[in-house]
Amino acid sequence: MQLVDLSVLVENSVSEPMKIEVDRLDHHRGAKEFCGKVEARNQAKSDPRRLQVEDFPDRAFITLDTVTLPTHMGTHIDAPIHYGVESEGKPARSVDQLPLDWFYRPGVRLDLTHKQAGEFITVDDIHNALKQTQHELKPLDIVLLWTGTDRLWGKREYFSDAPGMSREATEWLVDRGIKVIGIDTYGFDRPFVTMLEDFWKTGDRTNLWPAHFYGREREYIQIERLANLDHLPPTGFQVACFPLKIKDLDASWVRAVGIVT
Ligand SMILES: [Zn+2]
């Protein structure tokens, strides 16, 4: 069995406009603060027992990191509540409400590396790529769209130079019982700049996040910012990408893994 890491490293990067902030209560500050808290608690109870920094090996306590991290930074899944208030006429679900068994399923990798930046991935593209894999698509399979854009990871162009899913191609997969679709680009739709330019040029609002907004009609999950899809075979592997169990969130970071047996 081979485990293929399909996640990017979460760190501040020019590829993402969002930022991570980590505040670490380190070993030495932590030792002082913890002993101070114990002291205050015991004093309030007139308890003479003490805990001192010297009581820890090397005078160092254990750390505590507090993280500020947008839910859509790094490799993550988008929950239906991200797309809109409702999905399929019901209140749209958050990450903690999604069925766990959607996130551990047979995978298929579709080769879309010929798609150019700014282009739509069409129904024909999906159809042709699927044919090449000789994989027989079944409901709940996890479909991974391999565009090769992760080669730009670490560069500014990662954010602006990528193809994106069309509404029709998304619908085609959802019609076949697919619930989780992953892509190795910043966003599932075409880049922000491309969508906005096309909207301003034509006045056609369907240029704006067509795949995301399709999620208001039909419930599906997308994984954004996958990596290393070139390390996977086209078919014959499982994908594990469980979201964290955090109440009401619109998205969740995932450690996406391809399990090749
Ligand atoms: Zn997202």
- What string of H, E and C letters represents the secondary structure of 41-97? HHHHCCCCCCCCHHHCHHHCCCCEEEEECCCCCCCEEECHHHHCCEECCEECCCHHH
Write the pLDDT tens digit of every residue in 52-94: 999 999 999 999 999 999 999 999 999 999 999 999 999 999 9
Domain count, the chain: 2
Write the pLDDT tens digit of every residue in 185-230: 999 999 999 999 999 999 999 999 999 999 999 999 999 999 999 9
Query: Burial of 160 by CB count in 10 Å (0-12 exposed, 13-18 middle, 19+ buried)?
Result: middle
Please tell me the predicted confidence (pLDDT) of residue 73: 98
Rounded Cα–Cα distance for residues 54 and 163 (Å): 58
Please tell me the predicted confidence (pLDDT) of residue 27: 98
Residues 147 and 49 grouped into a single domain: no
Domain of residue 154, CATH code = 3.50.30.50
Residues 121 and 202 grouped into a single domain: yes
Write the pLDDT tens digit of every residue in 49-62: 999 999 999 999 99
Please tell me the predicted confidence (pLDDT) of residue 123: 98
Domain that holds residue 39: 21-67
Residues 173 and 133 grouped into a single domain: yes
Residues 58 and 89 grouped into a single domain: no
CA of 38 to the centre of ligand 1 (A): 42
Residues 101 and 197 grouped into a single domain: yes
The rounded percent of the chain whose pLDDT value lies above 70 is 100
Residues 27 and 9 grouped into a single domain: no
Residues 127 and 208 grouped into a single domain: yes
Residues 109 and 31 grouped into a single domain: no
CA of 222 to the centre of ligand 1 (A): 8
Residue 14 DSSP SS3? coil
Rounded Cα–Cα distance for residues 79 and 55 (Å): 46
Which of 216, 215, 185, 180 minimizes the C-alpha distance to 86? Answer: 216
Residues 128 and 60 grouped into a single domain: no
152 near 191, Cβ under 8 Å? no
CA of 239 to the centre of ligand 1 (A): 19
Residues 136 and 38 grouped into a single domain: no
CA of 7 to the centre of ligand 1 (A): 14
Residues with CB under 5 A from ligand 1 (ion): 72, 78, 224, 251
Residues 116 and 58 grouped into a single domain: no
Residues 28 and 81 grouped into a single domain: no
CA of 237 to the centre of ligand 1 (A): 24
Rounded Cα–Cα distance for residues 7 and 20 (Å): 16
